[in-house]
Amino acid sequence: MTQEKLQAIAAQFELVGDIESIKPLGEGFINDTFVVKTVGDNPNYILQRKNHNIFPDVPGMMDNIKAVTEHIKQKVADPMRETLTVIPAKDGKLYVQDGENFWAVCLFIADTASYDRADSPALAYQGGVGIGRFQALLSDFDKPLNETIKGFHNIRWRFQQWDETIAKDPVGRVKELQEEISWIESRREEMLSFWSLVEDGTIPTHVTHNDTKISNILFDKPTGNVLCAIDLDTVMSSTSLNDFGDAIRSYTNTGAEDDKCLDNVEMSIDMFRAYAEGYLSEQRATMTQSELDWLAFSGRYITFEQVLRFLMDYIDGDNYYKTAYADHNLVRTHAQYKLLQSMERQYDEMCAIVKELSAK
Ligand code: ADP
Ligand code: GN1
Ligand code: MG
Protein backbone atom coordinates (compact mmCIF):
# COMPACT_ATOMS: atom_id res chain seq x y z
CA MET A 1 0.00 0.00 0.00
CA THR A 2 1.66 3.24 -1.13
CA GLN A 3 1.64 6.49 0.86
CA GLU A 4 -0.29 8.15 -1.96
CA LYS A 5 -2.98 5.49 -1.80
CA LEU A 6 -3.23 5.75 1.99
CA GLN A 7 -3.39 9.54 1.81
CA ALA A 8 -6.15 9.34 -0.80
CA ILE A 9 -8.18 7.03 1.46
CA ALA A 10 -7.62 9.14 4.59
CA ALA A 11 -8.59 12.33 2.73
CA GLN A 12 -12.09 10.91 2.22
CA PHE A 13 -12.78 11.14 5.99
CA GLU A 14 -13.81 14.19 8.00
CA LEU A 15 -10.32 14.86 9.40
CA VAL A 16 -9.40 18.13 11.07
CA GLY A 17 -6.02 19.42 9.82
CA ASP A 18 -3.68 18.49 6.99
CA ILE A 19 -2.09 15.07 6.95
CA GLU A 20 1.59 15.00 7.89
CA SER A 21 2.26 11.24 7.79
CA ILE A 22 0.57 7.82 7.80
CA LYS A 23 2.47 4.99 9.48
CA PRO A 24 1.62 1.36 10.30
CA LEU A 25 0.88 0.53 13.94
CA GLY A 26 0.55 -2.58 16.03
CA GLU A 27 0.48 -6.25 15.31
CA GLY A 28 -3.22 -7.13 15.12
CA PHE A 29 -3.98 -10.51 13.58
CA ILE A 30 -6.94 -9.37 11.53
CA ASN A 31 -6.99 -5.72 10.42
CA ASP A 32 -4.27 -3.38 9.14
CA THR A 33 -3.86 -0.37 11.41
CA PHE A 34 -2.19 2.99 10.66
CA VAL A 35 -1.67 6.20 12.61
CA VAL A 36 -2.52 9.35 10.69
CA LYS A 37 -0.56 12.32 12.05
CA THR A 38 -1.81 15.76 11.21
CA VAL A 39 0.08 19.02 11.11
CA GLY A 40 0.33 21.19 14.26
CA ASP A 41 -1.96 20.75 17.25
CA ASN A 42 -4.75 19.06 15.34
CA PRO A 43 -5.94 15.62 16.49
CA ASN A 44 -4.34 12.46 15.14
CA TYR A 45 -6.30 9.48 13.87
CA ILE A 46 -6.32 5.71 13.58
CA LEU A 47 -7.00 4.50 10.04
CA GLN A 48 -7.90 0.84 9.68
CA ARG A 49 -8.40 -1.47 6.77
CA LYS A 50 -11.08 -3.80 8.09
CA ASN A 51 -10.67 -7.40 7.01
CA HIS A 52 -13.69 -7.92 4.80
CA ASN A 53 -13.06 -11.68 4.46
CA ILE A 54 -13.51 -12.03 8.19
CA PHE A 55 -16.13 -9.32 8.69
CA PRO A 56 -18.66 -9.85 5.89
CA ASP A 57 -20.79 -6.84 6.93
CA VAL A 58 -18.41 -3.95 7.64
CA PRO A 59 -21.20 -1.32 7.45
CA GLY A 60 -23.18 -3.32 10.07
CA MET A 61 -20.07 -3.60 12.21
CA MET A 62 -19.44 0.16 12.05
CA ASP A 63 -23.10 0.77 13.01
CA ASN A 64 -22.51 -1.39 16.10
CA ILE A 65 -19.35 0.53 17.03
CA LYS A 66 -21.02 3.90 16.53
CA ALA A 67 -24.04 2.87 18.61
CA VAL A 68 -22.11 1.49 21.59
CA THR A 69 -19.57 4.31 21.68
CA GLU A 70 -22.35 6.94 21.55
CA HIS A 71 -24.02 5.13 24.45
CA ILE A 72 -20.81 5.12 26.50
CA LYS A 73 -20.16 8.80 25.73
CA GLN A 74 -23.43 9.74 27.47
CA LYS A 75 -22.19 8.22 30.71
CA VAL A 76 -18.50 8.97 31.19
CA ALA A 77 -16.65 12.04 32.49
CA ASP A 78 -14.34 12.38 29.48
CA PRO A 79 -16.22 11.16 26.38
CA MET A 80 -13.32 11.82 23.99
CA ARG A 81 -10.89 9.64 25.98
CA GLU A 82 -13.02 7.04 27.70
CA THR A 83 -14.20 5.38 24.50
CA LEU A 84 -13.46 5.40 20.77
CA THR A 85 -14.75 8.25 18.59
CA VAL A 86 -15.78 7.12 15.11
CA ILE A 87 -14.92 9.67 12.39
CA PRO A 88 -17.35 9.53 9.46
CA ALA A 89 -16.42 9.81 5.81
CA LYS A 90 -17.23 13.05 4.00
CA ASP A 91 -20.27 11.34 2.42
CA GLY A 92 -21.67 10.63 5.91
CA LYS A 93 -20.97 6.88 5.87
CA LEU A 94 -18.94 5.33 8.69
CA TYR A 95 -16.50 3.73 6.23
CA VAL A 96 -14.92 4.20 2.84
CA GLN A 97 -15.10 1.37 0.36
CA ASP A 98 -12.23 1.06 -2.09
CA GLY A 99 -12.70 -1.94 -4.33
CA GLU A 100 -12.71 -4.99 -2.07
CA ASN A 101 -11.38 -3.04 0.91
CA PHE A 102 -13.29 -1.27 3.63
CA TRP A 103 -11.61 1.48 5.65
CA ALA A 104 -12.65 3.21 8.89
CA VAL A 105 -11.22 5.98 11.03
CA CYS A 106 -11.37 6.82 14.71
CA LEU A 107 -9.72 9.45 16.84
CA PHE A 108 -6.22 8.59 18.11
CA ILE A 109 -6.36 8.80 21.91
CA ALA A 110 -3.13 10.51 22.99
CA ASP A 111 -1.08 9.85 26.16
CA THR A 112 -2.09 6.22 26.35
CA ALA A 113 -0.23 2.95 26.59
CA SER A 114 -1.19 -0.52 25.43
CA TYR A 115 0.56 -3.79 26.24
CA ASP A 116 1.02 -7.22 24.69
CA ARG A 117 1.58 -8.83 28.06
CA ALA A 118 0.67 -8.08 31.67
CA ASP A 119 3.89 -7.47 33.56
CA SER A 120 2.35 -6.84 36.99
CA PRO A 121 -0.74 -7.80 38.99
CA ALA A 122 -1.54 -4.08 39.22
CA LEU A 123 -1.89 -3.93 35.44
CA ALA A 124 -4.04 -7.09 35.41
CA TYR A 125 -6.26 -5.55 38.12
CA GLN A 126 -6.69 -2.43 35.97
CA GLY A 127 -7.49 -4.58 32.94
CA GLY A 128 -10.21 -6.34 34.92
CA VAL A 129 -11.66 -3.00 35.98
CA GLY A 130 -11.61 -1.90 32.32
CA ILE A 131 -13.63 -4.82 30.98
CA GLY A 132 -15.94 -4.87 34.00
CA ARG A 133 -16.64 -1.17 33.50
CA PHE A 134 -17.11 -1.59 29.74
CA GLN A 135 -19.78 -4.22 30.37
CA ALA A 136 -21.39 -2.11 33.11
CA LEU A 137 -21.58 0.94 30.84
CA LEU A 138 -23.40 -1.16 28.24
CA SER A 139 -25.65 -3.07 30.63
CA ASP A 140 -28.63 -0.85 29.72
CA PHE A 141 -27.87 -0.71 25.99
CA ASP A 142 -31.06 -1.99 24.42
CA LYS A 143 -30.72 -1.61 20.64
CA PRO A 144 -30.21 -4.73 18.55
CA LEU A 145 -26.60 -5.34 17.47
CA ASN A 146 -25.51 -6.95 14.21
CA GLU A 147 -23.77 -10.31 14.53
CA THR A 148 -20.42 -9.30 13.02
CA ILE A 149 -18.97 -12.81 12.99
CA LYS A 150 -21.40 -15.71 13.08
CA GLY A 151 -21.18 -17.87 16.19
CA PHE A 152 -17.98 -16.16 17.31
CA HIS A 153 -17.65 -17.82 20.74
CA ASN A 154 -20.29 -20.49 20.12
CA ILE A 155 -18.40 -23.75 20.47
CA ARG A 156 -21.23 -25.72 18.88
CA TRP A 157 -20.77 -23.67 15.72
CA ARG A 158 -16.96 -23.88 16.04
CA PHE A 159 -17.22 -27.69 16.19
CA GLN A 160 -19.35 -27.65 13.05
CA GLN A 161 -16.62 -25.66 11.25
CA TRP A 162 -14.03 -27.97 12.79
CA ASP A 163 -15.74 -31.16 11.56
CA GLU A 164 -16.05 -29.69 8.06
CA THR A 165 -12.41 -28.60 7.99
CA ILE A 166 -11.15 -31.99 9.18
CA ALA A 167 -13.33 -33.79 6.62
CA LYS A 168 -12.07 -31.53 3.85
CA ASP A 169 -8.42 -31.52 4.95
CA PRO A 170 -7.65 -29.04 2.16
CA VAL A 171 -3.85 -29.06 2.46
CA GLY A 172 -3.37 -32.63 3.72
CA ARG A 173 -2.24 -31.75 7.24
CA VAL A 174 -4.70 -33.92 9.20
CA LYS A 175 -2.61 -37.10 9.10
CA GLU A 176 0.32 -35.52 10.92
CA LEU A 177 -1.89 -33.89 13.60
CA GLN A 178 -3.51 -36.87 15.31
CA GLU A 179 -2.23 -35.93 18.76
CA GLU A 180 -3.31 -32.29 18.50
CA ILE A 181 -6.74 -33.35 17.18
CA SER A 182 -7.16 -35.64 20.19
CA TRP A 183 -6.64 -32.60 22.49
CA ILE A 184 -9.77 -31.10 20.94
CA GLU A 185 -11.85 -34.27 20.74
CA SER A 186 -11.22 -35.29 24.35
CA ARG A 187 -12.79 -32.02 25.53
CA ARG A 188 -15.68 -31.80 23.05
CA GLU A 189 -18.44 -32.95 25.41
CA GLU A 190 -17.24 -30.87 28.34
CA MET A 191 -17.16 -27.69 26.25
CA LEU A 192 -20.51 -28.36 24.58
CA SER A 193 -22.17 -28.98 27.91
CA PHE A 194 -20.92 -25.62 29.21
CA TRP A 195 -22.26 -23.89 26.08
CA SER A 196 -25.65 -25.57 26.46
CA LEU A 197 -26.08 -23.52 29.67
CA VAL A 198 -25.83 -20.36 27.56
CA GLU A 199 -28.21 -21.82 24.97
CA ASP A 200 -30.86 -22.73 27.55
CA GLY A 201 -30.59 -19.36 29.32
CA THR A 202 -29.09 -20.67 32.58
CA ILE A 203 -26.20 -18.30 31.86
CA PRO A 204 -27.57 -14.92 30.66
CA THR A 205 -26.35 -12.90 27.69
CA HIS A 206 -25.35 -9.23 27.60
CA VAL A 207 -23.59 -6.76 25.32
CA THR A 208 -20.01 -7.95 25.37
CA HIS A 209 -16.69 -7.07 23.74
CA ASN A 210 -15.62 -10.57 22.68
CA ASP A 211 -11.94 -9.83 22.02
CA THR A 212 -10.59 -8.77 25.40
CA LYS A 213 -6.92 -9.58 25.01
CA ILE A 214 -4.68 -7.10 26.76
CA SER A 215 -3.69 -5.19 23.60
CA ASN A 216 -7.34 -4.20 23.18
CA ILE A 217 -7.34 -2.00 26.29
CA LEU A 218 -5.84 1.49 26.51
CA PHE A 219 -4.26 2.64 29.75
CA ASP A 220 -3.88 6.30 30.70
CA LYS A 221 -0.15 7.11 30.61
CA PRO A 222 -0.08 9.80 33.34
CA THR A 223 -1.94 7.69 35.96
CA GLY A 224 -1.43 4.11 34.76
CA ASN A 225 -5.16 3.56 35.22
CA VAL A 226 -7.29 1.84 32.63
CA LEU A 227 -8.90 4.23 30.17
CA CYS A 228 -11.07 2.27 27.72
CA ALA A 229 -11.66 -0.85 25.70
CA ILE A 230 -10.79 -0.49 22.00
CA ASP A 231 -10.97 -2.81 18.96
CA LEU A 232 -14.76 -2.91 19.12
CA ASP A 233 -15.22 -4.89 15.88
CA THR A 234 -16.68 -7.87 17.72
CA VAL A 235 -19.05 -6.09 20.11
CA MET A 236 -22.13 -8.32 20.09
CA SER A 237 -24.51 -10.05 22.40
CA SER A 238 -22.94 -13.00 24.19
CA THR A 239 -22.18 -14.20 27.71
CA SER A 240 -19.97 -11.83 29.66
CA LEU A 241 -18.05 -14.91 30.76
CA ASN A 242 -16.42 -14.90 27.31
CA ASP A 243 -14.87 -11.50 27.98
CA PHE A 244 -13.57 -12.67 31.33
CA GLY A 245 -12.23 -15.92 29.88
CA ASP A 246 -10.49 -14.30 26.92
CA ALA A 247 -8.82 -11.77 29.20
CA ILE A 248 -7.67 -14.55 31.54
CA ARG A 249 -6.19 -16.33 28.52
CA SER A 250 -4.19 -13.22 27.77
CA TYR A 251 -3.30 -11.60 31.13
CA THR A 252 -2.31 -14.76 33.00
CA ASN A 253 0.01 -16.23 30.36
CA THR A 254 3.61 -16.11 31.63
CA GLY A 255 4.82 -16.60 28.05
CA ALA A 256 3.77 -15.35 24.64
CA GLU A 257 0.67 -16.49 22.79
CA ASP A 258 3.01 -18.01 20.18
CA ASP A 259 5.88 -18.98 22.48
CA LYS A 260 8.13 -21.61 20.92
CA CYS A 261 9.54 -22.40 24.34
CA LEU A 262 6.70 -24.15 26.13
CA ASP A 263 8.54 -23.92 29.46
CA ASN A 264 7.78 -20.20 29.40
CA VAL A 265 4.03 -20.81 29.27
CA GLU A 266 2.02 -21.24 32.46
CA MET A 267 -1.06 -19.65 33.93
CA SER A 268 -0.01 -17.22 36.67
CA ILE A 269 -2.44 -17.62 39.55
CA ASP A 270 -1.37 -14.20 40.88
CA MET A 271 -2.43 -12.57 37.63
CA PHE A 272 -5.66 -14.54 37.75
CA ARG A 273 -6.42 -13.24 41.21
CA ALA A 274 -5.56 -9.65 40.26
CA TYR A 275 -7.66 -9.64 37.08
CA ALA A 276 -10.60 -11.33 38.84
CA GLU A 277 -10.42 -8.83 41.69
CA GLY A 278 -10.53 -5.87 39.29
CA TYR A 279 -13.33 -7.39 37.23
CA LEU A 280 -15.47 -8.33 40.23
CA SER A 281 -15.03 -4.87 41.76
CA GLU A 282 -17.13 -3.59 38.83
CA GLN A 283 -19.37 -6.57 38.11
CA ARG A 284 -19.95 -8.55 41.30
CA ALA A 285 -23.13 -6.72 42.31
CA THR A 286 -24.96 -7.53 39.07
CA MET A 287 -23.73 -11.05 38.36
CA THR A 288 -25.99 -14.07 38.66
CA GLN A 289 -24.99 -17.12 40.68
CA SER A 290 -24.62 -19.10 37.45
CA GLU A 291 -22.15 -16.54 36.12
CA LEU A 292 -20.12 -16.71 39.32
CA ASP A 293 -20.21 -20.51 39.27
CA TRP A 294 -18.76 -20.62 35.75
CA LEU A 295 -16.43 -17.62 35.89
CA ALA A 296 -13.23 -19.61 36.45
CA PHE A 297 -14.24 -22.17 33.82
CA SER A 298 -14.58 -19.44 31.21
CA GLY A 299 -10.76 -19.13 31.12
CA ARG A 300 -10.57 -22.80 30.13
CA TYR A 301 -13.43 -22.45 27.67
CA ILE A 302 -11.95 -19.55 25.71
CA THR A 303 -8.41 -20.95 25.82
CA PHE A 304 -9.77 -24.25 24.50
CA GLU A 305 -11.63 -22.37 21.77
CA GLN A 306 -8.40 -20.59 20.84
CA VAL A 307 -6.51 -23.91 20.59
CA LEU A 308 -9.28 -25.14 18.30
CA ARG A 309 -9.28 -21.96 16.19
CA PHE A 310 -5.49 -21.87 15.71
CA LEU A 311 -5.37 -25.59 14.88
CA MET A 312 -8.38 -25.36 12.57
CA ASP A 313 -6.74 -22.48 10.71
CA TYR A 314 -3.53 -24.51 10.36
CA ILE A 315 -5.51 -27.47 8.99
CA ASP A 316 -7.36 -25.11 6.66
CA GLY A 317 -4.09 -23.79 5.21
CA ASP A 318 -3.73 -20.55 7.26
CA ASN A 319 -6.48 -18.40 5.81
CA TYR A 320 -7.77 -16.59 8.90
CA TYR A 321 -4.95 -15.34 11.15
CA LYS A 322 -1.99 -13.39 9.85
CA THR A 323 1.07 -15.63 10.16
CA ALA A 324 4.74 -14.67 10.26
CA TYR A 325 6.17 -18.08 9.27
CA ALA A 326 5.06 -21.43 7.85
CA ASP A 327 3.89 -23.28 10.97
CA HIS A 328 2.99 -20.22 13.05
CA ASN A 329 -0.55 -21.42 13.70
CA LEU A 330 0.76 -24.79 14.89
CA VAL A 331 3.20 -23.06 17.27
CA ARG A 332 0.30 -20.97 18.57
CA THR A 333 -1.76 -24.17 19.01
CA HIS A 334 0.94 -25.81 21.11
CA ALA A 335 1.52 -22.71 23.25
CA GLN A 336 -2.18 -22.20 23.92
CA TYR A 337 -2.60 -25.89 24.71
CA LYS A 338 0.17 -25.65 27.28
CA LEU A 339 -1.71 -22.73 28.83
CA LEU A 340 -4.96 -24.69 28.83
CA GLN A 341 -3.30 -27.59 30.65
CA SER A 342 -1.88 -25.18 33.20
CA MET A 343 -5.38 -23.79 33.81
CA GLU A 344 -6.80 -27.29 34.16
CA ARG A 345 -4.17 -28.12 36.78
CA GLN A 346 -4.90 -24.95 38.75
CA TYR A 347 -8.66 -25.00 38.30
CA ASP A 348 -9.56 -25.74 41.94
CA GLU A 349 -7.46 -22.80 43.05
CA MET A 350 -9.07 -20.53 40.44
CA CYS A 351 -12.53 -21.52 41.71
CA ALA A 352 -11.50 -20.91 45.32
CA ILE A 353 -10.25 -17.41 44.42
CA VAL A 354 -13.54 -16.54 42.68
CA LYS A 355 -15.45 -17.78 45.72
CA GLU A 356 -13.30 -15.80 48.13
CA LEU A 357 -13.45 -12.58 46.07
CA SER A 358 -17.16 -12.77 45.37
CA ALA A 359 -17.96 -13.25 49.06
CA LYS A 360 -16.36 -9.88 49.90
P1 ADP B 1 -6.34 -4.93 15.48
O2 ADP B 1 -7.75 -5.22 15.09
O3 ADP B 1 -5.42 -5.06 14.36
O4 ADP B 1 -5.94 -5.70 16.71
P5 ADP B 1 -6.64 -2.56 17.15
O6 ADP B 1 -7.87 -1.78 16.93
O7 ADP B 1 -6.57 -3.43 18.36
O8 ADP B 1 -6.30 -3.38 15.84
O9 ADP B 1 -5.41 -1.54 17.20
C10 ADP B 1 -4.05 -1.98 17.26
C11 ADP B 1 -3.28 -1.15 18.29
O12 ADP B 1 -3.34 0.24 17.93
C13 ADP B 1 -3.86 -1.20 19.71
O14 ADP B 1 -3.35 -2.29 20.45
C15 ADP B 1 -3.41 0.15 20.28
O16 ADP B 1 -2.06 0.08 20.71
C17 ADP B 1 -3.45 1.08 19.06
N18 ADP B 1 -4.72 1.84 18.98
C19 ADP B 1 -5.85 1.42 18.38
N20 ADP B 1 -6.81 2.35 18.45
C21 ADP B 1 -6.29 3.40 19.10
C22 ADP B 1 -6.78 4.70 19.47
N23 ADP B 1 -8.02 5.08 19.15
N24 ADP B 1 -5.96 5.53 20.12
C25 ADP B 1 -4.70 5.15 20.43
N26 ADP B 1 -4.17 3.95 20.10
C27 ADP B 1 -4.94 3.08 19.45
C1 GN1 C 1 -7.67 -11.80 16.97
O2 GN1 C 1 -7.90 -8.73 16.11
P3 GN1 C 1 -7.10 -9.17 17.27
O4 GN1 C 1 -5.65 -9.41 16.93
O5 GN1 C 1 -7.31 -8.24 18.46
C6 GN1 C 1 -9.04 -12.48 16.97
C7 GN1 C 1 -9.38 -12.94 18.39
C8 GN1 C 1 -8.31 -13.88 18.87
C9 GN1 C 1 -6.97 -13.17 18.82
C10 GN1 C 1 -5.85 -14.10 19.21
C11 GN1 C 1 -11.90 -10.95 15.10
O12 GN1 C 1 -7.71 -10.61 17.73
O13 GN1 C 1 -10.62 -13.59 18.41
O14 GN1 C 1 -8.59 -14.27 20.16
O15 GN1 C 1 -6.70 -12.68 17.49
N16 GN1 C 1 -10.05 -11.57 16.47
C17 GN1 C 1 -10.96 -11.98 15.58
O18 GN1 C 1 -4.73 -13.34 19.53
O19 GN1 C 1 -11.01 -13.13 15.18
MG1 MG D 1 -6.53 -5.54 18.63
Whichever domain contains 40, its CATH number is: 3.30.200.20
Task: Verify that 132 and 268 share a domain, yes or no.
Answer: yes
CA 275/CA 48 separation, integer angstroms = 29
Torsion over CA: 146, 149, 150, 155 (sign): negative
Q: Give the position, in ligand 1's atom list, of the atom nearest the Cα of 109.
A: 24
pLDDT in tens, 178-195: 999 999 999 999 999 999
Task: Verify that 139 and 91 share a domain, yes or no.
Answer: no
Domain with 155 in it: what CATH number?
3.90.1200.10
Task: Verify that 128 and 153 share a domain, yes or no.
Answer: yes
What would the mean pLDDT of 307-327 be, rounded to a whole number? 97
Please count the structural domains in the chain: 2
Q: Using N-to-C axis directions, what is the helix angle for 240-251 and 289-316, rounded to 10°?
A: 60
pLDDT in tens, 244-301: 999 999 999 999 999 999 999 999 999 999 999 999 999 999 999 999 999 999 999 9
Task: Verify that 87 and 222 share a domain, yes or no.
Answer: no
Task: Verify that 271 and 128 share a domain, yes or no.
Answer: yes
Q: Is the CB of 273 under 6 A from ligand 2?
A: no
Asked if the model's pLDDT at residue 152 lies above 90, the reply is: yes
Tell how far the Cα of 220 is from the centroid of ligand 2, in angstroms: 23
Torsion of CA 341, 216, 287, 236, to 10 degrees: -100
> Is 104 within the bounds of a domain?
yes
Cα angle 277, 282, 286 (rounded to 5 degrees) comes to: 115
Residue 2 pLDDT: 87
Could you tell me the residue range of the domain that residue 250 belongs to?
A: 121-358
Q: Is the CB of 28 under 6 A from ligand 2?
A: yes
> Is 115 within the bounds of a domain?
no
Task: Verify that 84 and 158 share a domain, yes or no.
Answer: no
CA 352/CA 158 separation, integer angstroms = 30
Q: Give the position, in ligand 1's atom list, of the atom nearest the Cα of 25.
A: 12
pLDDT in tens, 93-128: 999 999 889 999 999 999 999 999 999 999 999 999
> Is 186 within the bounds of a domain?
yes
Task: Verify that 281 and 132 share a domain, yes or no.
Answer: yes
In contact, 245 and 347? CB cutoff 8 Å: no
Task: Verify that 85 and 130 share a domain, yes or no.
Answer: no
Tell how far the Cα of 286 is from the centroid of ligand 1, in angstroms: 30
> Is 116 within the bounds of a domain?
no
φ, ψ of residue 204 to 5 degrees: the values are -75, 165
Stronger pLDDT, 198 or 53, i.e. the higher one: 198
Q: Give the position, in ligand 1's atom list, of the atom nearest the Cα of 112.
A: 25
**Average pLDDT along the chain:** 97
Task: Verify that 168 and 293 share a domain, yes or no.
Answer: yes
Residue 360 pLDDT: 77
Task: Verify that 135 and 105 share a domain, yes or no.
Answer: no
Residue nearest to atom 8 of ligand 2 (CA): 211
> Is 248 within the bounds of a domain?
yes
Residue 28 pLDDT: 78
CA 176/CA 4 separation, integer angstroms = 46
Task: Verify that 179 and 32 share a domain, yes or no.
Answer: no
Confidence of residue 315 (pLDDT cuts 50, 70, 90): very high
Task: Verify that 49 and 97 share a domain, yes or no.
Answer: yes
